[in-house]
Structure 1
């Protein structure tokens, strides 16, 4: 559904196309409607201003631990997939994709500042923060909570709200665009090991912070009973294929995020684990932390009908279990519009 092009280096995917398919047939009360995402949120025509605080900043060279002692941030000794290598693999995949006709959108002569995308994002942040008394399909109308037992999951996809400076800045300027962050110790204490089947695969969205990467590999994964197997890169580009901001020396802002894979037993898996060092290229949504779906690119590593659980989810995926404080956040109607040209007689939601 979302894969436009694939090669040995990785994939080019279309997040907007996936949403069009996923929510094409929806039900509103007793009527069926055909929804599609507002294309404006994917109109990333120009790279973001490299001089802005969102794309670059001067980091502190030292941090303080709980005892008040200063220490220098150490580079991750585990991660070998560094910026120069990412650039080389990205350019190789991009050239192949362009030769097949993708990313033909002309580069604007004058930077657009992505006004349409930003305006649509601002509208979403304002509208989605309003209190609504709307009834939800499948909601609990009882006077007591319902405890649902989750069977062992073969595939778990956490998208943790990592503690980071960008969200702290967002929170001070625009509360609606921020969210509650989580410390690494809290993430480590999640009972993930109790949810995993013997041949489970775990895929964690991670920032480029050495502190977060090291914590995930040396503390979180061991506590979850998971062994590291590889890293993929999600590289965010404009509609013409340019990185959304310049590659920079760590720990400055990068045009990519990481997907770090682990499993509790490679020997007992019926399917291969994801190969290390693949790239996923896509145009990102203008909404912060609106991650692209991984179901299509991981289909060859999963059975035909996988039992998938997304943790800290911000929108719903067909046939997946979604868990978190904001699982309906990106389902808000302000991100969608009805397509009256599509006719249907049944709803799939």
Structure 2
């Protein structure tokens, strides 16, 4: 299982262990093998810093000057009462969950001076070595007016075992009983017409000026960012069953948080239910960055839930925390499949929009939908022959 432990405040989960669980008995051209996601991607041993910042940290550690200067600087920044309340909830949950995880033999790493100086180099370099197979996505990307919108493609795996498949000349591992559509989400009506789901997970490419400026300097494509009004227009209610649940990954920007509850959910005919927090920690259970102020990057993201009016199942409770070591791949979210089971029917029909990887039993749609299924991200190990 991916769930390491649970308290009344949330869960500690392992993204790595989940991939280890679902990619056994993989059918490949060389026989049946086991796969796991490259473990180096999760070797986050120290909080995230710039390289010079990490060197300064070690240089001044003995005198505590650098640590104290950061803390004092942050305390001077304004924080609203609602923000402080949010931080208190997360810090309290994190403390209890880390204690439980360590009882189970997890999150025990104690960082050394070498760890700080290397500054998560192994995880970062492993992520950098992975090259997104743009050949696939150039064909289904409609960012330019000349793009052929009929070039989207779909696939899946109807068997009970994961498989390695060749898709447009590249190798991907496909989990069992899943389907996918590589297409812009705006094509959802054409691609999924008539289908309805118990749970819809949405990871929108939120509009962000800073990210847009950075991407303008890069040669590789990112997904196309959307304004709030564009996300609101996605016809979610057409694809949600009467007792369905929707989860939206949201940034910490107040404008985006308000858009989910006041625009999206209302337009989709949903009632806001709860907000959960994904707390990102190192292999030693330390927050990947300080909590800081409302204007700084935080060590957590949020997922906001809304439900339809005819909901017959237990709703997610408010203010729960999901703690995990994040992947070094930018913006890769953890799998919440096992955590969400108690809020969904048996064998639920689930859909993810703006997906970047596949999940067993799910339907996934997006123009980067098999991005993180590329075989280069996984480590095979041949099975020991049985006698």
TM-score under structure 1 length normalisation: 0.82
Secondary structure of 2:311's counterpart equals coil
Matched, 1:26 2:26: yes
Matched, 1:164 2:219: no
1:101 is aligned, of 90, 97, 105, to 105
Tell me the equivalent position of 1:312: 354
Secondary structure of 2:274's counterpart equals strand
Distance in 2 (alpha carbons) for counterparts of 1:175 and 1:80: 40
1:235/1:255 contact within 8 Å kept: yes
Shift of 1:88: 2.4
Matched, 1:5 2:11: no
- Contiguous gaps of at least 5 residues in structure 1: 57-73, 141-145, 345-349
Matched, 1:203 2:247: yes
CA change 1:115–1:80 in 2 (3 A) is closer
- Contiguous gaps of at least 5 residues in structure 2: 54-69, 71-78, 137-166, 182-189
Which structure shows the higher helix fraction?
A: 2
Distance in 1 (alpha carbons) for counterparts of 2:277 and 2:209: 21
Residue range with higher mean Cα deviation, 158-167 or 213-222: 158-167
Matched, 1:123 2:129: yes
Distance in 2 (alpha carbons) for counterparts of 1:113 and 1:230: 35
Tell me the equivalent position of 2:319: 277
1:45/1:107 contact within 8 Å kept: yes
Distance in 2 (alpha carbons) for counterparts of 1:184 and 1:30: 47
Tell me the equivalent position of 2:45: 45
Q: Deviations over 1:282-312 (max 9, x none)?
A: 0000001211111100111112201101111
1:292 is aligned, of 334, 350, 365, to 334
Coordinate RMSD, CA, aligned:
2.9
Distance in 1 (alpha carbons) for counterparts of 2:385 and 2:204: 38
Secondary structure of 2:338's counterpart equals coil
Secondary structure of 1:339's counterpart equals strand
2:366 is aligned, of 297, 314, 324, to 324
Distance in 2 (alpha carbons) for counterparts of 1:100 and 1:28: 34
Q: How many residues align?
A: 316
TM-score under structure 2 length normalisation: 0.74
